[in-house]
């Protein structure tokens, strides 16, 4: 029997994030992306521009419902000592209907800022942007 198209779509409710092995139960959203870096390559007599792969840059953001002081706890000692923490972020996006999952393990993380925001009649949030040097995919769909 064919799988219903809607059952094959992943929901954010089936996504999980761990920070140094701790499941983040207060996380609201998580984003990561890899941007590929290319240099232009040109030749005399050729009007086209070619691209040479030079590497990549990884960036992301952890956004929490404000339940605790995550950014402060993570970085308060680092901003005083200058020694940044070693952090590993692991993600899992799964689909119960298909049994398929995607996992990412992100390392070489550098946090660029932390803080919080609040607004009248809304839920307070805390966003922690970061960049990363490496990502591995132990499981893909």
pLDDT tens for each residue of 76-133:
888 889 888 899 999 999 888 788 889 999 999 999 888 877 889 888 888 999 999 9
Say what the pLDDT of residue 132 is: 96
Is the distance from CB of 84 to CB of 122 less than 8 angstroms? no
What CA dihedral angle connects 34, 26, 22 and 76, to 10 degrees?
Answer: 80
Say what the pLDDT of residue 99 is: 83
Say what the pLDDT of residue 131 is: 95
Distances, alpha carbon 131 to alpha carbons 19, 45, 114, in Å: 15, 40, 13
116: exposed, middle or buried (C-beta count within 10 Å: 0-12, 13-18, 19+)? middle
Average pLDDT of every residue of the chain: 89
Say what the pLDDT of residue 3 is: 57
| Residue 111 CB neighbour total at 10 angstroms | 18
Beta bridge partners of 22: 19
pTM of the model: 0.82
Domains assigned to the chain: 5-139 (2.30.110.20)
pLDDT digits (tens, 9 = 90+) for 27-48: 999 999 999 999 999 999 999 9
């Amino acid at each position: 029997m064919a799988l219903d198209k809607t059952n094959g779509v992943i929901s954010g409710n089936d996504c999980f994030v761990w920070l140094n092995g701790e499941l983040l139960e207060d996380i609201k959203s998580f984003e990561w992306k890899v941007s590929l870096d290319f240099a232009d390559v040109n030749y005399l007599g050729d009007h086209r521009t070619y691209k040479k792969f030079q590497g990549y840059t990884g960036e992301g953001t952890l956004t929490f419902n404000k339940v605790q002081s995550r950014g402060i706890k993570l970085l308060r000692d680092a901003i005083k000592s200058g020694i940044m923490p070693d952090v590993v972020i692991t993600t899992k996006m799964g689909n119960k209907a298909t049994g398929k999952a995607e996992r990412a393990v992100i390392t070489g993380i550098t946090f660029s800022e932390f803080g919080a925001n609040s607004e009248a009649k809304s839920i307070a949030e805390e966003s922690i942007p970061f960049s990363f040097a490496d990502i591995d995919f132990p499981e893909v769909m």
